[in-house]
Amino acid sequence: IIFSDNYKLLLQILPGLELFFLMEIEIKFKKDKAFLIRYLQLIILKFEIFRFRFFNITSNVDANLNTLHSNADFNEMVAILSALSQRLYEIFKLYEYLEILEYLNFILFIRAKFSDIYEQYNLDQEYKNTQLFIRERSFIGTNNISGSQIYIPTNFKESKFFKIFANKKKWYYFMKSVSKKK
């Protein structure tokens, strides 16, 4: 279902969803299969609700990705679904992808809630430069993960915005650990 034409857009807008399905993950336990099915149901449900509201209620018949990106509800839906898809990586212990997904999700959150900051830091370009590359698509200076055909760029860690993000994240976890010790 998720690879049908009906959900092709969903795979395009969520940075980690297609990658998750392209990896050969062995699901051993029924509990893990149930988690996967529940998360996919949530992702599809949220997507369908947006699609119904946007196309049926607003009478939009045809919209391209640029039009959708200018819609606040679309950007919020993408940020939420991306965070849900990141949770799949945590459940299935795919930790090598979490840092880049967390960063991409943060950019999506800023696009959804703080469009002025998104534009100020040119995060659209930052997001495009920090994509995961799959199969035949390649990236100069990439790291090949686990001998697969999946490539993750590492140059995103050199950007000004990532450095701000990483410092704030370290500060947050430091303060969280200090408050637990009290």
Residue 125 sits at the vertex; the CA angle it makes with 103 and 44, to the nearest 5 degrees, is 55
pTM of this structure: 0.77
Q: Is residue 125 part of a domain?
A: yes
pLDDT of residue 45: 95
What residues have CB less than 8 Å from 37, skipping those under 6 apart?
Answer: none
d(CA 101, CA 56): 32
Please give the backbone phi and psi of residue 46, each rounded to the nearest 5 degrees, phi first: -60, -40
Range of the domain at 14: 5-141
How many domains is the chain built from? 1
Q: Is residue 61 part of a domain?
A: yes
Indicate the average pLDDT of the chain.
80
Q: Is residue 25 part of a domain?
A: yes
Q: Is residue 77 part of a domain?
A: yes
122-156: pLDDT as tens digits: 888 888 777 665 544 433 334 444 444 455 566 77
Q: Is residue 59 part of a domain?
A: yes
54-109: pLDDT as tens digits: 888 777 767 788 888 888 999 999 999 999 999 998 988 888 788 888 888 999 99
